[in-house]
Every structure is written in C-alpha cells, then in structure tokens.
Amino acid sequence: MNIIVCVKRVPDTETRIRVGGDGQSIDPSGVKYVVSPYDEFAVEAALRLREANGAGEVTVVTLGDDASQDALRNALAMGADKALLLQGEVTQDGLATARALAAEIGEQDAPLVLLGVKAADDDQQQVGPMLATLLDRPCVTGVSNFELKDGVAVCRREVEGGHQEVEVDLPAVLTITKGEFEPRYASLKGIMAAKRKPLDKKEAAVAESRLRVTTMELPPEREGGRIVGEGPDAVPELVRLLREEANVL
C-alpha cells in the first residue's frame, strides 16, 4: 500500500526570528531550516508501516520553492522512497495549500495520507482536515498511534483529559502528533542513498492567498526580571504583589 506524507520546511525552533525589510515576512538570512517536527513523526509512522507490510512506497510531498528540496531530501534520507516538489508559493492561507496538495494527491493511488498535526511556523492546524474535506475522505487529527486492520485505520487520538479510539475506513487522512513515532535519525548510508532517489518537480496551481499579510512584528519585549526575593520567605511578598499589583489572585 502506498502512503503519502506531506512535509513542510520551516525555520528551526532554535531560530531567533527577525522581521525582513518588507515588514511582512521574516528575514531568512542566517535562518536554519528543518523539516517541521510533527512532519518527522508522520514520516516515521509511514516508514514503520511500510517496514511492517513489506510492500508499497512512501512518497513525501511538499509545496514550496526550490529550497524546500532539502526537506524532501531529509525525508528521503530517513527512508522515504520518492519525493515530489510542488512548486508554488506558500502563504498563511492553508486552504490554498490544501487545494494544491489535493489536486495532486487526488490523482495518486495512496489510500493513506499523513500530515503533521501542525506546522511549526504558521501553526494553523488546518491543512490536514482541509485536505481531507476537499478529497472527501475522513480525517482523524492529533493521532499519536494507529494501526491498519482490514482497510480500517484504528487510531489513538489525543484529546482533552484523555484519548479516544477512532476508526475510519481507508482511504483516509491522519494528522500525527507526538506519541509512538519518535523519528529515526538519517544514517550516513541513508543520506548517500537519498541523493539517488527520485525527486520530481511539478508546477502547482496555487490560488492567490486570501489571508493577506499586512504587517509582521515582533512581540513587545516583556519588562520582566523582577526578583521578589530568595527562598520561601519571599512568598508572602510575591502573593501580595500578585493580588495587589498584578490583580491576578
């Protein structure tokens, strides 16, 4: 069974964000980019399934510019079989992204599509359920573990106060969260092999973003840094400040 995993290239979580000269996007100079952490869980989940089934291919897909090839190469180095770069502009309009992905994925024979629960940059948590809705397939979000039984995906879904068991028939879309799929490191052999694996490129039809960014700013610096005192003796003063000054108790 073939599996498609959607991955996104995002700034490393260590990165300090600076606003670029246009005031609408980040300054990319000096920013290290990585595969979005939750997407790595999704890749790991796909690889384990292929290893268990012994058949089928794992294809990683990204919508982005030429630089997004690194994210695909990283996933290939982890063990994915092939990669597809859909060339097009990525914006905060997740529906535009989902549409571009759906146009491609709808044509492929892959009953299981995996995504990260959220991308570590725009943090919208929307592309997965949108993609599924556009493809008219069921979608389970926030899946920390799952197995396939007779064409049914049996998922453990993390929800407030506990977890659910949720079943959907394939074809289906799952968004993966942290859980059982701790991602493997790419081995040196994997990295070498990735260079020879197929990476196709295609122009994607991406609609113009209907979430138009007008400004980007850094959050106001927090004043911060008032040490009330040392040890337990400082507690009464802290509580007084929280009540009388901050008005939060």
Ligand X SMILES: Nc1ncnc2c1ncn2[C@@H]1O[C@H](COP(=O)(O)O)[C@@H](O)[C@H]1O
Ligand Y SMILES: Cc1cc2nc3c(=O)[nH]c(=O)nc-3n(C[C@H](O)[C@H](O)[C@H](O)COP(=O)(O)OP(=O)(O)OC[C@H]3O[C@@H](n4cnc5c(N)ncnc54)[C@H](O)[C@@H]3O)c2cc1C
Chain residues that interact with ligand X, rule: CB under 6 A: 6-8, 36, 38-39, 62-64, 90, 94, 97, 115-116, 118-119, 122-128
Under the phi-then-psi rule, with left for phi > 0, alpha for psi from -120 to 50, and beta for the rest, what region is 194? alpha
CB of 178 to ligand Y, least distance (A): 10
The window from 47-55, 58-66, 159-167, 190-198 that contacts another protein (CB under 8 A) reads 159-167
Interactions with ligand Y, residue window 3-32 (CB under 6 A): 13
Q: Which does 216 bind (CB under 5 to 8 A by kind): ligand X, ligand Y, another protein, none?
A: another protein
Q: Which amino acid is at 21?
A: G
Instruction: Please tell me whether residue 38 binds another protein under the rule CB under 8 A.
Output: yes
Does 30 contact another protein by CB under 8 A? no
Supply the minimum distance, in Å, between the C-beta of residue 97 and ligand X.
5
Among 11, 37, 56, 179, binds ligand Y (CB under 6 A): 37
Q: How many CA atoms lie within 13 A of 182 on its CB side?
A: 0
Least separation in angstroms between residue 169's CB and another protein is 7
Q: How far apart are CA 43 and CA 181, in angstroms?
A: 9
Q: Is the torsion defined by CA of 173, 179, 181, 187 positive or negative? A: positive
Determine the angle formed by the axes of helices 127-135 and 94-105, rounding to 10 degrees.
Answer: 50
- Find the part of the chain contacting another protein (CB under 8 A) among 64-72, 106-114, 198-206, 209-217: 209-217
Separation between Cα atoms, residue 109 and residue 57, nearest integer Å = 10
Give the CA angle between residues 109, 111, 115 to the nearest 5°: 110
- Residues in contact with ligand Y by CB under 6 A are 13, 37
